[in-house]
Structures are given as structure tokens and as C-alpha cells.
Amino acid sequence: MTADPKELADRLLDAQVEFVLAELTGERFKDVVARDVADVLAVADTMIVSEVVDSAMVKAVGHRLTDAVGGSDIIEDMTVAVADAIYDMAASDEYTLGDVVDREPVAALIEKFLTMNTLHDRALERLTESPLVANIASSFVNKIVADFMAANRARAEKVPGMSAVLKMGKGAATKVRSAGDRHFEGFLGDVAGRGAQFALRRTNNAIRELIHDAPLHDAAMEFWDLHADEPVSGLREYLTQTDLRELVVIIHEIARTSRNKEYIGHAIDAGIDVFFEKYGSHTLAGLLVEVGISADEVVTDIVAFAPPILEAAKSDGVLAAQIRSRLAPFFTSDATLALLSDAGAAAIVTS
């Protein structure tokens, strides 16, 4: 008597499900992962990035992810939450700023910034085009002059008889101003405008001389060294938690509202083009090496993270049901049933 092909297919399906479950759980899992990762990387080592990956498709995905991820609520929530967590992190009391950031790159960064003369000159030139900045510079200079004059007046008034002379001069100036108030105010306006530009030019020149000639690099590094041996938590003295949270939210909002701008799209495309120019000739497996990911690390990470998830899925029967749903179409297909029927008939004949 031959076995019913449908019944035999069900028994084969059960056996296949048990086999796959055994490979995904228990002691065999690590060996299976190592084998499969090696097989995948062996195939990936034969594939050239530019031949199997379309840069236009990567650009489309990059645009979509920038739009979707950049505007997601979880990014904003996590940004604020992470900022709060870092601000209150206990480790900030255990590590110094020097432990976190090496001195050499800080020194190189400061030196590079101070030697960027084109940047300094161009920025200062553009500042002269702003009337508001000129007024601020004028106020700054006037404040210094006013403080200097006030200090000298206070010393002069201590000289016997000088107080009366100063009051007489002030009264005379008041009469002159009241005699031609409108003309005088217009004159002051013209002088103030020219004075603002003069003050700004003088301020810019002073800044240039300060950057080019003064030992700012040494001063900046001295400032760094004063903080390098202090706990990272000392930075809280410069910024409250509310300030940090608000800054992070503002920066996130800038990033969120800028992500769909046309220029950002061009920047994404340019970055992807550069990637393909530099790494398009690499194999997929070689690209992983360039990134710094080894096969052993891939296996280690999968073995570390996957078992708890697979065990949880196995315990409630979800994993077995998923495997069965994937394999069942093969075992119940007409072609498989026909093969089983033919195999059964052949077995009867040979017996």
C-alpha cells in the first residue's frame, strides 16, 4: 500500500520545520551563523559595488530617509531625552575633559582657525557692510572712551577748583546745543554715522592684529589646560540643563526644517557621488573591511543579539509557525505532490 502523497508531504514538512528550528536555536546556532556569514561574504567578495548597486537608487533612498527619519517624532523625543541624560550622567564626575578629548587635536584645531586669514578678512569685510554691526562697534568704542573719560573726570574733580571749571564747560556746551538744536542734532547724526564706520574699521583692524600678532594660540591652550584636569561635569557651570535642552531643540528644528530644501538634496547627491568615486570599484565584502567590520564581528554580534529573540519566538510557537508558513507552499505544491506520488509508485514497482 502506497502512502498518501499529501500525508507524506505533511510529514516531510514537520521534519523540515524541526530541522530549521534546531539550526536557529541551541548549540548549533553559532555554527550555523558562522557558516552562513562566511557563505554570504564569499559571494559578496565576487560583487563590485558599482556593478550591483545603482547610485541613482541610493540617492533616491537617501532623499527618502532624510525626509522620513529627519521629520520623525522619535528623533525629536530622543534628542531631548539624550541631552538630558548626558547632562545628568554620573560618569561626568568620574572623567576629566582631558580624558575625553586629547590635547593635540585641540591645539591643531585652534592653530588652524587662527591661521585662516582669508576667513578672518572676508568675515570682517562683510561686517563693515552692516549698519547695525557698525553701530554696535561704535557703542563698544564709545563705552570704552566714556569709561576712560569718567575715570579721568573723577580724578580731575579731586583737584581743588577743577570741579567749578568742569561745570562751567558743561553749561556752555548746553547753551550751544539749545541755540541750534535741530542743526546740532543733524550734525551729530552725520558724525555718529561716520564715527560708527570709523569705529568698526578700527575694531576690525584691532581684531586682525590680535589674531595675527597676539599669542592667542598659547592663551587658548592655557584656557584649555585650566579645564582639562577638571571633571566633565564642570561644564555644567557654563550651561544649565534648560539651556542645553533648548539649544538641542533649536538645532533639531533647524535640521528638521532644512532637510527638504533643494540644496540639501544636491548635497546628498554630491556625497553619494563621492562615495561611488572612491569605493565603487571595491567588492561588497571589501567595503565591509574598509568600514572596519570583520566577519568575526558580524558573527559575534548576531550570536549575541539573536538568541534571546529567537528563544522568545520559539517559546510561544511563533517561530515554528513562521518557518512552517514559509516552507508549506513548497511541500503542498502540485509539483512536489506529483514527485512524491511518482516516488511511491516507483517504490512499489521495485519492491
pLDDT tens digit sequence for 175-214: 544 545 545 444 444 555 566 677 777 778 888 887 887 7
3-state secondary structure of 116: coil
What's the pLDDT at 347? Answer: 60
Euclidean distance between CA atoms 260 and 17, whole angstroms: 47
At 340, the pLDDT band (50, 70, 90 cuts) reads confident
User: Buried b vs exposed e over 295-327: b needs ≥16 C-beta within 10 Å?
Assistant: beebbeebeeeebeebeebbeeeebbeebbeee
What's the pLDDT at 268? Answer: 94
Query: pLDDT, tens digit, for every residue of 276-311?
Result: 999 999 999 999 989 898 999 999 999 999 999 888
Are the beta carbons of 226 and 97 closer than 8 angstroms?
Answer: no
Q: Residue 159, by phi and psi: left (phi above 0), alpha (psi -120 to 50) or beta? A: beta
Q: What is the DSSP string of 220-265?
A: HHHHHHHHHTSBGGGGGGT--HHHHHHHHHHHHHHHHHHTTSHHHH
Report the amino acid identity of residue 118. T
Domain ranges in the chain are: 5-47+283-350, 103-230
